[in-house]
Amino acid sequence: MPSTSPFGFQELPAADKAAAVRGVFAKVARRYDLMNDLMSAGWQHVWKHHLVQSVQLFNGIRLLDVAGGTGHITQLLQQRLAKLGMVGDLQVVDASIDMLRVGRDRFFDHGWPQPTAWVDSVAEALPYPDASVDAYVIAFGLRNVTDLAQSLAEARRVLKPGGRFYCLEFSRPTNPLLNRAYDAYSFAVIPRLGQLVAGDAASYRYLVESIRRFPPQQALAERMQSAGFAQVDWVNYSGGIVALHRGVAG
Ligand SMILES: C[S@@+](CC[C@H](N)C(=O)[O-])C[C@H]1O[C@@H](n2cnc3c(N)ncnc32)[C@H](O)[C@@H]1O
């Protein structure tokens, strides 16, 4: 594990980062889904829709939704599976017990079928045997982990040969003008929105800073290749504000 890890624009001792990130998501958990809608002006649904449509589903699929938070991706995947007349074993894995609890209650309140399991675990050490899952999905989660290389290695380890990896994450707008406008919006508006809606500007400042510190498209693709993924590619959405990286476990 590296000795330090970025926490927004700060470098924290790696041992402290996980607790700091858990603190952020404990604070935002109750307002998380609402804030996502407001911050992205609803775009999160479009980006997540693209991800869910990209996942190669089949009957009996075993899939992990890592850093799955309140289970939004799992719920969309369950809907798509049901539409296709298929069933699967979908598990939400997250380091924040608060996010998992909000998710479990939300599924219960809406009468949605619960995932097979809500698993309290970090992406760096997954409680699954080698080569045991068909698909690994991580949405807006990879930039929060303490050890990116270890998290990618774990994804690779738990996937069966030929298993699919999908990472939806904020990335870099390819147009410099859009990049500047997006930067101004993120730093000026999002922490204020966080203060107004969730009474917490600092956590949302962290979210914005963590986006800037995350490897851009090409660099993330190279990190995936170093972890042993083949056929790595990515698709940009909203001009590269968000990218979907895909890879296949060799
Ligand atoms: C921005 S939320 C994304 C939630 C969900 N995937 C979505 O798209 O709505 C990021 C999640 O990553 C989780 N997380 C942070 N560090 C983690 C780690 N090392 N391992 C697993 N989950 C982690 C947080 O607890 C949080 O729920």
Angle, CA 140 vertex, CA 72 and CA 54 arms, to 5°: 70
Angle, CA 41 vertex, CA 38 and CA 47 arms, to 5°: 110
State what percent of residues in the chain have pLDDT above 70: 100
pTM to 2 decimals?
0.94
Quick one: pLDDT band at residue 1, thresholds 50, 70, 90?
low
Q: What is the mean pLDDT of the chain?
A: 94
Q: Which atom of ligand 1 is nearest to the CA of 96?
A: 25
CATH 3.40.50.150 given to domain 4-249: yes
Domain locations in the chain as residue ranges: 4-249
> Of 30-39, 122-131, 174-183, which one has max mean pLDDT?
122-131
Residue 145, pLDDT score: 95
CA-to-CA distance for 109 and 114, rounded, in angstroms?
A: 11
Pocket test for ligand 1, best of 21, 94, 126, 147 (most atoms within 8 A of CB): 94
Average pLDDT score over residue span 164-184: 94
CA of 183 to the centre of ligand 1 (A): 22
Residue 24, pLDDT score: 84
CA of 69 to the centre of ligand 1 (A): 5
CA of 140 to the centre of ligand 1 (A): 7
